[in-house]
Chain A
């Protein structure tokens, strides 16, 4: 079964810290890796995404690092703020005729003031 394993389950950092959330996958057919941010009671919102042809992508304070050989990717949040406190989900998609995203189980991030 296709799986995306996400860790840690929860994470607490101080304001200005750099939380790192990791995901690992098995299916080498995956070719699209998005991260979603979800606030309580809201739907997930796309944060940033990467394809395997690059090793890093930055958008503002958010960076994805991608290691194709290790089949791992991670989200880094620079200069974290209390407003970044949310649940973060990684996901993967194998494209082609399969439009299904496989999600990790999520990481609850708390950024203390």
Chain B
């Protein structure tokens, strides 16, 4: 997992609630990423940020929002507009100085 932390490890949400997943890195990488993982679907990119105060939509951004106010932090909010949010969420860091992305341990979100 290197220097990427995600919290909480498990998260339960009621229908209609927004929840925020935390991702922090101490690897000094410029770029950070959020992925969603569902069984048999591989890793799908939600949002990514190549630099502070800038971010771009990935392949499945609808129902999610992000911010990048600090280089170390890239929180993801799962909004009530996301109709099927139950999944394993992975944060990664990498980019400019390396082609590789390093992943955090993940957050498993379950909607009750």
A residues neighboring B (CB under 8 Å): 6, 9, 32, 34, 36, 41-46, 49, 89, 93, 95, 99-101, 103-106
Total count of chain B residues near the partner, CB < 8 A = 27
Interface of B toward A, CB cutoff 8 Å: 1, 4, 6, 31, 33, 40-43, 45, 48, 50, 58, 90, 92, 94-96, 99-106, 108
Chain B neighbourhood of A9, CB < 8 A:
40
Closest to A95 in B: B99
Closest chain A CB from B21 CB (angstroms): 13
- CB neighbours (8 Å) of B45 from chain A are 100
Chain B interface main SS type: strand
A-B residue pairs, 4 tightest by C-beta: A43-B103, A105-B42, A32-B99, A99-B95
- The residue in A32, A46, A95, A100 that gathers the most chain B C-beta atoms within 10 A of its C-beta is A100
Among B1, B40, B41, B42, contact of A43 (Cβ-Cβ < 8 Å): B1
Verify A105–B40 contact, CB threshold 8 A.
Answer: yes
Contact (Cβ within 8 A) A99 B48: yes
Contacts A41-B106, A99-B94, A100-B48 hold; do A46 and B43 have CB atoms under 8 A apart?
no
A104 is contacted by which of B42, B90, B104, B105 (Cβ under 8 Å)?
A: B42
A46-B99 CB under 8 A given contacts A99-B50, A103-B42: no
Q: How far is the CB of B104 from chain A (nearest CB, A)?
A: 5
Chain B residues near A41 (CB-CB < 8 A): 106, 108
Closest to B108 in A: A41
Quick check: B41 and A99 within 8 Å, CB to CB?
no
Name the distance in Å between A52's Cβ and chain B's nearest Cβ: 12
**Which of A36, A42, A45, A104: most chain B Cβ within 10 A?**
A42
**CB–CB B95/A44 < 8 A:** no
Q: A56 CA to B92 CA in the complex, in Å? A: 27
Whole-angstrom distance between the Cβ of B61 and the nearest chain A Cβ: 13
List 30 A-B residue pairs with CB atoms under 8 Å apart, sorted by A's residue number. Answer: A9-B40, A32-B100, A34-B99, A34-B100, A36-B103, A41-B108, A42-B106, A43-B4, A43-B90, A43-B92, A43-B103, A44-B90, A46-B100, A49-B99, A49-B100, A89-B42, A89-B43, A93-B99, A95-B99, A99-B31, A99-B50, A99-B94, A99-B96, A100-B48, A101-B101, A103-B42, A103-B43, A105-B40, A105-B41, A106-B42
